[in-house]
Structure 1
Amino acid sequence: MPTGVAIRDVREQLFEAAERILLRDGPSALTSRAVTTEAGCAKGVLHRHFADFDDFLAELVLDRAGRMAAQATALRDAAGTGTVVGNVADALTTIFRSVAVALVALITFRDELRARLRRTWPAGVPLLAEAVIMVADYLMAERDLGRVAAGADVGMLAPTLIGAGHLLFADRQASPPEPEAVRTMVSTVLSGVLPNPPVSGGA
């Protein structure tokens, strides 16, 4: 690693290497040596910036969860435009076609990583918890605009949508679901709270 490289750049280089390994080979292939090899770094670089490998993985998960803030803002700003089903389906596709599914699998795979995350994130899986908050905030905005029924329980609808979305995208070896399949799932979950439900096949 050249001298003078910003710590943030080193961290991101290592994070991106870990993501590539996760997406290509799955959580069982993710080791500190695999990450530094993938990143083209000396073996000791990771341990100069993180206490240990699980500390590195916890920081990776929290960093990627934090990056969802921009998407949450974009989704909330979309309230009142397009259709509710289309907006939610697009948001779920963006979330789950990223590295999020692989990171959730990693958290499930590593007991020590879950323990580290609980120190700063006491409940839920960070990426999925942020996604639930994002969708709930959007549905509340649409409820305020009258495009979602006034009595809609967004606190229940949001985790239902995230859970169903995760199941649709969870098979890492299979092709991602067709956009129509995602829209159909969203439309089904929201069918009782949309004042003007889209016709079948609509977005």
Structure 2
Amino acid sequence: MSPKLIVSVIFVGIKLVFLGGCASRENFSQQQESYLLEPAARIPAAVQTLPGVLKIRHCRAVAPFDGQYFLYRTRTGQFQQDYYKLFLTPPNEQIVEHLRQALSASGLFTNVLPASSAMPPDYTLEPHLLAIYCDFSDANNPKTVLKMHFVLLKTDPSCHCSTIVFENTYESIKSMPGRTGSDIILSFNDNLSNLLSTLMSDIARKAK
């Protein structure tokens, strides 16, 4: 489903609920545009499965990237919110769900658990969202930026403690095909696909 189709469905739902189905063309155009992240790239299956269960903790987002509105970096380096374009749910929540799905599909671990699971894990992944924004500081070369930090911990049952297997910061920068909401979310999707692919390659290599 394309970003435009998702937005159209959301708008119709909003208009029907709040305006009783009466939607003028003028009011429709003033509605907020809400988008979902949908990384396009398929993650390749792992060559081998690590013997253990992985739990992914909640993804924490640092300010000002802990909200839902699209953020634009201006020529002065300041960030401005776009109150008419936003993520349907906080991006850190969307990212951690895509991360869980990708790791589960890859077969890299025996099982991948959400943060809410009570099952004791063999590994724990801590994701941190450091930045997600549109960079318009160069008007001729607009880009989207996604930056995250990950810490992978391995549980030692003998001491009920954990040791760091690896930690790393990843940054993906992509040129935007245009300036519409659909252009922006497609570029963010490329950011996320690239970041997930690189992260899982590193996990497979360093968690052996």
The answer to whether TM tops 0.5 is: no
Question: Which structure carries more helix by proportion?
Answer: 1
Normalised by the size of structure 1, how large is the TM-score? 0.31
Normalised by the size of structure 2, how large is the TM-score? 0.31
Question: Which structure carries more strand by proportion?
Answer: 2
